[in-house]
Structure 1
Amino acid sequence: MKYYISDLHLFHPAILQKCSRPFATIDDMHRTIFQNWEKKGIGPCDEVYILGDVGMYHEKEIGKFLMALPGKKYLVTGNHDFKNIHNRDFSSAFLWCRPYAEVRDNERKVVLFHYPIEEWNGFYVGSYHLHGHIHNTTVTHIDRRYNVSVDVINYTPVTLDELIAQNDVK
């Protein structure tokens, strides 16, 4: 299985207030993310694409946190990851770190980028674009473009099928 998530902002206490996250402490948020990841049933062979802003600074702590989570993790870097990716404790949690990626998910092309974009490779032939960065801010709806910020996916990695089903309901 492939899962997607963005904007964890681990070890970043100011994010609680900035994004009105429903946690009393950053430890509460970490615990919820960890528990949700486990409840989802992500296994060691599943792939989890984190679309940026894992955290800024606290490289060792973030690396340790991520290594404890199941699954093969990949990072599409965001604006808060620029310093951490040069730290071995942080980067070793990922099979790769890139600013942009294209993957196949059940025969569907998926463009992964931290920032929402208006058009992407394969836009006119049915490909999907997953992003983060904007947290819970609303942007103009574009078919097949989905925000995977933790703030809108209940702090839980999601599949492309879940995103499609959730957004077709709206």
Structure 2
Amino acid sequence: MLKDRFFNMLEVWKGQITPIIRGLMAEPSKNIDPYGVIDLKDFLFFNPRRPSIVDLFSINVNRGRDHGLPGYVHILQYCTGYEIKSWKSLEKFIPPVKVKSLRKVYRHFRDIDLFVAGLLEYHLIDARVGPTFACLIGIQFYHWKYGDRFYFEHGGESGSFNPGSIDIH
């Protein structure tokens, strides 16, 4: 079970990481569940000495609020250029039944948390995420690449690899 592997470094210390990595590469991932996998929701931070349920999704929503992240509609507009003007206009990105659920929780569509709505979006073709999360993931990868002076494709820098030192298979 996934929950039995959280924070368990024994396999790594025993040199058993290769089969785990192979499994991650070979097994197709499941569709994103907007309600969360039970192991992540209820057991990620589980402590048998002090049993309580700590919901990772709730933590992520609170992290976004604590860090002052703009709401979903603001990030959606930044990423797609599409301005949400009503609850109905959300249906272009989120299934109507999910928008109905959001209306029960949030007073105004501008209050919707990024993490919550990002999980509810229609997925892009051949993707596991919708346009907003795809945009944010792309931005993050851009910054990882261009913020790392040792990234192997950067040339002409003091830490750059020369063509002979790059071994690409």
Larger RCO: Structure 1 or Structure 2 (Cα < 8 Å, ≥ 6 residues apart)?
1
Using the size of structure 1 for normalisation, the TM-score is 0.30
Q: Could you say which structure has the larger radius of gyration? A: 2
Greater helix fraction, Structure 1 or Structure 2? 2
Using the size of structure 2 for normalisation, the TM-score is 0.30
Greater strand fraction, Structure 1 or Structure 2? 1
